[in-house]
Amino acid sequence: MGASQSSSSDQLNKWSHSIWGCCSPTRICLLGCCCPCFLYGKTQSRLNDPALQEHTYLNGDCCLYTLTQSCGLHCLILARKRTDLRKRYRLSGGVCGDCLQAWCCSCCVLIQHEKEIEKQCTTLMYQQPPTMIYPQPQQRVYS
Q: How many domains does the chain have?
A: 1
Q: Which domain holds residue 62?
A: 26-125
Reduce the DSSP state of residue 70 to 3 states and report it: helix
Indicate whether 137 belongs to any domain. Answer: no
Global confidence as pTM: 0.77
CB distance 45 to 59 below 8 Å: yes
91 located within any domain = yes
- pLDDT tens column, 71-127: 999 999 999 999 999 999 999 999 999 999 999 999 999 999 999 999 988 876 655
Burial class (CB in 10 A: 0-12, 13-18, 19+), 14: exposed
H helix intervals, the chain = 26-34, 36-48, 60-70, 74-89, 95-104, 106-125
- Would 10 be classed as within a structural domain? no
Query: What digits encode the pLDDT tens for the residues 45-62?
Result: 998 888 888 888 889 999
Three-class SS of residue 13? strand
